[in-house]
Amino acid sequence: MFVDQVKIQVKAGKGGDGSVAFRREKYVPNGGPAGGDGGKGGSVVLKVDEGLRTLMDFRFHRIFKAKSGQNGMIKGMYGRGAKDLYIDVPQGTTVTDAETGEILGDLIDAGQELVVAQGGRGGRGNIHFASAKNPAPEIAENGEPGVERTIQLELKVLADVGLVGFPSVGKSTLLSVVTSAKPKIADYHFTTLVPNLGMVRLDDGRDFVMADLPGLIEGASQGVGLGIQFLRHVERTRVILHLIDMSGVEGRDPFDDYKKINAELATYDPLLLERPQIVVASKMDMPDSSDNLEKFRAKLENDDTLKHIPEVMAISSLTHQGLDALMQKTANILEETPAFATLTDRIQEKKRAEYGFEADDDKPFTLTRDSDAVWILSGEKLEKLFKMTNLEHDESMMRFARQLRGMGVDDELRARGAKNGDLVRIGDFTFEFVE
C-alpha cells in the first residue's frame, strides 16, 4: 500500500538527574560535594533510507520515544547518556510541526538526518554548586525534559520528469516502454492509484527519473477523483510531460483536455505552469489521431490566453514512434533547468519574512488568577526551570525562588496586587507568596 501522508508523535528522552552526594572516606574530614551529573537524554532523529518508497511503516507505529539519560551518582560519577533514536524515512519527505505548521525540514539527500526532538541535557550534580560561601551545597538539578511534539510526514516523490494528463491517456504505457518500471496497465480509468517511478537511460549516458502520476480530472485541485493528494507530487519535478490522447476514442476534445489539466495545475500552484512543459500527443497509431493533432495545433496557435505556445511532440508507445526524440528533448531541457522551490518551501519562506528575525522580547512567564483566587504561573521557560528543580532539598528550592525573583515574578505579583500569604501555583505545585 502506498502511504504518502502520516502524523506521528515523537518524544525525546529526559536528561538524567544530578546527584547530591558527599565524599565519605576514612581520614578525609569534610570531603566536600561529590554528586555527579546526569546523562543526556536521547534525541529523535529522522534519517533518509534510499530503500524506502512509502510511509507505510508508520501506519501502525505512530509513537516514538527515546530513552532518558542515567542519573548522576556518588563520587562524582556521571550518568550514562542515552542513545539517539533513529527513524528511517524515504527520500522526499517533508517534515512539519503538526501544531504550529512550521516546516522543520525537507529530507531529499541519501543519508540526510534531521533532529525532530532534542534530548534534554543532564542535570548538574552538587559538585558544580560549591563556593566559598557554601562549600557543601545540597543543590542539584533535575534533568531537562526532552522535546515532545506531533509531526506531519509528507512524501513527495523525487522525480526529474512528471507525466500528467487525464486517465487512460497512456502515461503508464509510456513509462513501461522507456523505463524498466512495471506499472499496472488496463483499459479503464484510474488504473494507476499510486505514483510509479522509473529510470530513463539514454544511449549517450544521460539518465533521469520519470514519475507516472495518477490521472487528474477536472476539479482535482478541490479533491475530485484522486484529488489533491497526488498533485503535490508534481511539485518537485523540473519538466512536465503533458500527455493528451489524440485518438478521440473517449469522445473528448484534446484541446479541452489540455486546458482543463493546466487549469488544475494552476489552481494548485500557479508557478507550475512556468516550468518547462512538453505536450505529448499520444496514441498516434490510431486512425483519427493525425487529423485531431492538426486541429489541436491550430487551436493552440489561435489561443490568445496562452503566454507561450508549448512544443508538441507526437508519439505512439505501441509502435515506439517518436519516443527517442521525446526522451532526447526531455534530457536537453533538464540540463538547462534548475530545481524549483516547492510550494511548501515558498510558504515557509513567506512565514519567515512575515515573522522577521527580531529578538524574542516576550516575558519568560505569564501570570493569571484562577477562580479560587490562586495566582497561576505558566510559560515554557518557567515550567522547564521548575521541572529541573530538585524539590527534595531545601537549598534547591531556595535557588529556584532566587531564579523566580531574577525573572521578575515577585515584582509582577506585587504589581498585580498579590499580598503576603497568597497562594501561587506552578503546574501541580502550590506555594505561598512571602514578602
What is the pLDDT at residue 223?
A: 47
Average pLDDT of the residues in 385-409: 89
CB 176 within 8 A of CB 156: no
Range in 90-94, 291-295, 320-324 the model is least confident about: 90-94
Block residue for cell numbers 490566453 = 305
Please state the pTM of the whole predicted model.
Answer: 0.70
Question: Checking DSSP bridges between strand 93-97 and strand 44-48, what pairing results, if any?
Answer: unpaired
User: What's the pLDDT band for 226 if we cut at 50, 70, 90?
Assistant: very low
CB 367 within 8 A of CB 413: yes
CA 391 from centre of chain: 38
In the predicted structure, residue 196 carries a pLDDT above the cut 60: yes
What is the pLDDT at residue 345?
A: 60
In the predicted structure, residue 195 carries a pLDDT above the cut 80: no
Condensed to tens digits (0 to 9), the pLDDT of residues 53-70 reads 788 888 889 999 999 999
- Report the Cα–Cα distance between both ends of the chain, in Å, rounded: 65
Range in 175-179, 234-238, 342-346, 365-369 the model is least confident about: 342-346
Here the cell at position 420 is 503576603
DSSP type of residue 81: P
Whole-angstrom CA distances from 319 to 188, 211, 266 are 21, 21, 33
What is the pLDDT at residue 216?
A: 65
Residue type, 252: R
User: What's the pLDDT band for 346 if we cut at 50, 70, 90?
Assistant: low
Question: Checking DSSP bridges between strand 44-48 and strand 63-65, what pairing results, if any?
Answer: unpaired
Angle among Cα 383, 7, 360 to the nearest 5 degrees reads 35
Per the DSSP assignment, residues forming a β-bridge with 93 are: 107, 155
Distance between CA atoms of 334 and 338, rounded to whole angstroms? 8
What is the pLDDT at residue 230?
A: 61
Average pLDDT of the residues in 131-144: 91
Q: Which of 197, 148, 205, 208 is nearest to 339 (CA)?
A: 208
What is the pLDDT at residue 224?
A: 46
Per the DSSP assignment, residues forming a β-bridge with 278 are: 241, 311
CB 70 within 8 A of CB 39: yes
What is the torsion angle, in degrees rounded to the nearest 10, for the CA atoms of residue 413, residue 415, residue 416 and residue 421? Answer: 40
Here the cell at position 235 is 511539485
CB 245 within 8 A of CB 257: yes
CB 234 within 8 A of CB 164: yes
User: What are φ and ψ of residue 406, in 5° steps?
Assistant: -65, -30
What is the pLDDT at residue 11?
A: 96
User: What's the pLDDT band for 344 if we cut at 50, 70, 90?
Assistant: low
What is the pLDDT at residue 56?
A: 83
Average pLDDT of the residues in 400-416: 89
In the predicted structure, residue 225 carries a pLDDT above the cut 50: no
Distance between CA atoms of 160 and 158, rounded to whole angstroms? 7
Q: Give the residue, 199 or 113, on which the prediction is more confident.
A: 113
Here the cell at position 374 is 490562586
Range in 230-244, 288-302, 321-335 the model is least confident about: 230-244
In the predicted structure, residue 2 carries a pLDDT above the cut 60: no
Whole-angstrom CA distances from 83 to 20, 66, 119, 366 are 25, 8, 10, 35
Condensed to tens digits (0 to 9), the pLDDT of residues 271-283 reads 888 889 999 999 9
DSSP 180-224: S------SSTT---S-EEEEEE-TTS-EEEEEEPPPP-TTGGGT-
User: What's the pLDDT band for 186 if we cut at 50, 70, 90?
Assistant: very low
User: What are φ and ψ of residue 78, in 5° steps?
Assistant: -80, 150
In the predicted structure, residue 85 carries a pLDDT above the cut 90: yes
